[in-house]
Structure 1
Amino acid sequence: MRTFDEILAIAAERHGGQEAALAGIPAPLSPDEIAMQPDARFLAAMARGIFQAGISWSVVEAKWPGIEEAFHGFEPARVAMIEGDAFDALLSDTRVIRSGPKLAAIRDNAAFLTEVAAEAGSFARKIADWPVTEFDALLDWLKRSGARLGGNTGAYMLRTMGKDGYVLSRDVVGRLNAEGVIDKPPSSRKALAAVQEAFNTWAEDSGLPHTTISRVLARSIG
């Protein structure tokens, strides 16, 4: 496995220098900054990712103001109560993307957030306190406990909310393959643990956030 500096050099060569290879990568938020965000914003980020799966992101963006209205600003306790006639009305609401399974997943995630908040004080606090060195476990928890948060949906939601971590995009997986960390897109717990170990090693060696490392790995391929 190459050092992070060696991978950064590959990305720099592909993109016209180290400055360009690192350009536009936002720093993750601190745990306290993450914890200050309303849980409604986490639910909104989940909903956006769920809606974007399999359709044009521009369609979701165009409809987003109406989606926010239809979901009452994504206040988790209120969204969790969308059942029966209220759910049927949402299915026919032209403001939203009328996919029954996706709408149900958003409602179910609202219930998930409220349950976590009751235990941890807020969903945001739970996310804020999760160690980045165990990011693989965080993604697995979201996949198993939430609705439609597997694949990269959960990871992109966390990145949107400023949580330090990685996204296993095609290019990131390509670099991990090239480094011998994995030999195919990771799905098993063993493979995901190997990915986490690699990111922890690169973070320890470089002193950089996992988010930065993830983006540089992608740019070393794409």
Structure 2
Amino acid sequence: MKRFAEIREMALARKGTDELEAVMPMPPAVPLCDLSDDRILAQFTRGIFHAGFSWKVIDVKWPGFETAFHGFEIGRNAMMSDDDLDRLLADKGIVRNAQKILAVRDNAIFLSDLAREHGAAAQFFARWPVTDTVGLFDLLKSRGSRLGGATGQYALRALGYDAFILTPSVVAGLNMAGVIDGPATSKAAQRKVQAAFNDWASESGESYARISRTLAAAVPD
């Protein structure tokens, strides 16, 4: 397996210092541990509606989503009734996809359960060790709704969790670095990916998110 120093040199050779730094993730405006749980539900919902749809359309309509879902208040959305669903399906201020609307209810229940178990869902996510990021991906897939794969990974990054994201470029970088041979979809492959990120973080002192972006920059677009 290549050392992170080698991967960074490859990324610098392709992008240059300024361009590489420009693609690095910015620190969140509010630390994850300080977020209210409604903001977590909002980010999960945004990611779910982005998936397979125009991000620009969702972003333009977003104020309508905030209104329609009552500011993503956890308790109220967890109690979504059939009448609420009918109202939302008639609301032109949002994208009216029944399965994705119901995911808001299901994820509100999921976050309510975490809050009851851990005091606040934000605290649960903030305390989850980055050395087991793939375990958190699995939890989002199993206990959340429509949060498997890239949707959950992007949502965690947007919330400020120091997640790597298994984009096609990152997966290509992992193959180039000798971590895996093929896709990163199996549990065995993801364990290898996690171990590699743990090693690179220990070697470099870099965040997992920055390592992820560097890895993507080290291979052709």
TM-score, normalised via structure 2 length: 0.95
Of the three residues 27, 34, 37, the one matched with 1:36 is 34
SS in 2 for 1:186: coil
Residue deviations 1:8-42, cap 9 Å, x none?
11111111x2343223423556xx93211101111
Partner of 2:25: 26
Partner of 1:218: 216
Q: Is the 8 A contact 2:133 2:194 kept in 1?
A: yes
Counterpart residue identity of residue 98, structure 2: G
Residue 5 (structure 2) pairs with residue 5 (structure 1):
yes
**Partners of 2:113 and 2:125 in 1: CA distance:** 14
Superposition RMSD in Å = 1.5
Mapped partners of 2:60, 2:171: distance in 1:
31
State the partner residue of 1:141.
Answer: 139
Structure 2 counterpart of 1:157: 155
Q: Please say if residues 9 and 18 of structure 1, whose CA atoms lie closer than 8 Å, have aligned partners that are also in contact.
A: no
Q: Deviations over 1:160-184 (max 9, x none)?
A: 0111110000100000111221222
Whole-angstrom distance in 2 between the partners of 1:177 and 1:121: 40
Equivalent pairs counted in the alignment come to 220
Deviation string, structure 1 residues 79-136 (Cα, Å, up to 9, x no partner) = 1111111111111111111111110111100110001100100000000110000001
Shift of 1:204: 0.5
CA distance in 1, matches of 2:48, 2:23: 25
Check the 8 A contact 1:77/1:114 in 2, yes or no. Answer: yes
Residue in structure 1 matching 2:187, options 167, 185, 189: 189
CA distance in 2, matches of 1:118, 1:180: 42
**Structure 2 residue 76 is the aligned partner of structure 1 residue 62:** no
Partner of 2:100: 102
The aligned amino acid for 1:207 is: G
SS at match of 2:161: coil
Structure 2 vs 1, CA of residues 158 and 189 (structure 1 numbering), >3 Å: closer, same or farther? same
Q: Find the residue that maps to 1:58 and give its secondary structure.
A: helix
- Conserved? CA contact 2:7–2:177, under 8 Å: no
Separation of aligned partners in 1, 2:32 and 2:87: 34
CA distance in structure 2 between the aligned counterparts of 1:208 and 1:120, rounded to whole angstroms: 29
The residue that corresponds to 2:82 in the other structure is 84
The percentage of aligned residue pairs carrying the same residue is 47
Equivalent positions of 1:166-205 (< 5 A) are: 166-205=164-203
Segments of 5+ residues of structure 2 without an aligned counterpart are none
Cα contact 1:8–1:21 (8 A) shared by 2: no
